Structures are given as C-alpha cells and as structure tokens.
Amino acid sequence: MHQIQNMEQNNDGGMSQVRHVVLVLSGKGGVGKSTITTELALALRHAGNKVGILDIDLCGPSIPRMLNVGRTDVHQCDSGWVPVYTDAEKSLALMSIGFLLEDPDEAVVWRGPKKTALIGQFVSDVAWGELDVLLIDTPPGTSDEHLAVLDNLKKHRLDGAVLVTTPQAVSTGDVRREITFCKKTGVRILGIIENMSGFVCPHCSECSNIFSKGGGES
C-alpha cells in the first residue's frame, strides 16, 4: 500500500477534461454491476469515444479482472496518478485499488475515513486527460463510498446514474432503496438495467430462461 500512503494531494483537477461522468449503482451485490460497467465502457469505446472506468469498490475491485489487466504498476506524473490503459490507442483508461495492492488476494480492512480519503484522491489525483465518458463503478449499497464520491464530484458535472438489478424480489427491493438514495442526493437516474433476466435468440427469436426465475417480479 506504499503507493497510496506516499501520494501527495494534487488540486489541479484531474477531471477537468472529462466531458461526462456516470455512476453505476446497485442496491445489492452480485447483480453484475461491474460486468455492466465493463460492457458500457466497451460499447462506448466501440462507438468512437474515449472512456475511463474508476473502480471505487475498494473491498472488492473487479474491473482489472473484467478487462483482463494483470499485475500493473501505477505510475505518477506531475498531475497525479497515470491511469492504466487497456490498448495502445489509450481509448480505455482504468483506475482501481486493485492496481495498488501488493497482493491481489490482500483484504482491504479500512474504516470509513480512510476509504473516503482514497476516493478523494481517485477523483482529484488521477490524470485522466481528455475523456468523453468516465464511468464510476461503485460498491453495492448507499454507504461511505457513495457519499464520498458524490461529495468529491460537487465541483464537476455529474450526468447521472445507471442502476443495476436482477429480477429477484430481494434485488428489486434493494434497487428501490437505491432510487430513494438518488432522489435524496439529487442524482439523476439515467436508467435501470435488469440484468440476468432472460435471453432472446437472435436467430430463432425464441426466448430462453437461462437464469433461475427465483422470486422475480413481473
């Protein structure tokens, strides 16, 4: 963790050239939020955009694995941390605590203030450069990490949030609480994605239920 401890605060505003910022939220874990974040990023890049992903799920960073980025050292420049790029064209940039851990299996056992401080550094100290869209992958719930990122984004324009759920009653109940969180904090809801809900074959147009129906709601 020496990279985190030695990082000095930079007030130049690493997001000054980021045009759009979108949060990806879920009320419940395991609904595929990081997968949706990755798919959105790849789709946006395929459409010709320069995209970044900021992974603030500090206790369960999944983005490096989702994009098959192995052990990578994070370097510093005059304006802060240099994000990790997945391609030579630098069209998809990543930042995650997963890149800062000496052991990928190391547990991040931190109290709220330390999490808040790192998220503040992630928002202000990453030299994103020019991006069309920055997606912020968050942990499930409505806790310290979410409040910290919203507080640090006050000086930037947040376009809104995409909420992710699955059809099961437990998940849809949790996403309702996430909707309440967005309303209370003034975050615009751009859309709700129901993940793992079914599949329509592009060849025969028949619908297959490849996931368990569980306690889903119609």
What pLDDT, on the 0 to 100 scale, is given for residue 23?
A: 96
Q: Are 94 and 82 a contacting pair, CB within 8 Å?
A: no
Can you state the angle between helices 112-125 and 144-152, rounded to 10 degrees?
30
Is the pLDDT at 20 greater than 50? The verdict is: yes
Could you read off the pLDDT of 70-127 as tens digits, one per residue? Answer: 777 788 887 789 999 999 999 999 999 988 887 777 778 888 889 899 999 999 899 9
What pLDDT, on the 0 to 100 scale, is given for residue 189?
A: 96
Could you read off the pLDDT of 130-180 as tens digits, one per residue? Answer: 999 999 999 888 888 899 999 999 888 899 999 999 888 888 888 899 999
What pLDDT, on the 0 to 100 scale, is given for residue 55?
A: 95
What pLDDT, on the 0 to 100 scale, is given for residue 172?
A: 87
The distance between the two most distant Cα atoms of the chain, rounded to a whole number of Å, is: 57
Task: Output the CA–CA distances (angstroms, integers) from residue 6 to 2, 10, 95, 115, 124, in the order listed.
Answer: 6, 12, 17, 16, 15
Q: What b/e readout covers 9-37, taking b as 16+ CB neighbours within 10 angstroms?
A: ebeeebbeebebbbbbbbbbeebbbbebb
What pLDDT, on the 0 to 100 scale, is given for residue 213?
A: 54
Structure tokens at 181: 């969180």
More confident residue, 21 or 216: 21
Phi first, then psi: give them for residue 110, nearest 5 degrees: -125, 150
More confident residue, 67 or 100: 67
What pLDDT, on the 0 to 100 scale, is given for residue 206?
A: 66
Is the pLDDT at 186 greater than 50? The verdict is: yes
The pTM for the full model equals: 0.83
205: left (phi over 0), alpha (psi -120 to 50) or beta: left
Structure tokens at 134: 């920055």
What pLDDT, on the 0 to 100 scale, is given for residue 181?
A: 93
Q: What b/e readout covers 171-183, taking b as 16+ CB neighbours within 10 angstroms?
A: bbebbeebbebbe
Measured distance CA(89)–CA(85) in Å, rounded: 8
14: left (phi over 0), alpha (psi -120 to 50) or beta: alpha
Could you read off the pLDDT of 189-208 as tens digits, one per residue? Answer: 999 998 887 766 777 766 66
What pLDDT, on the 0 to 100 scale, is given for residue 170?
A: 86
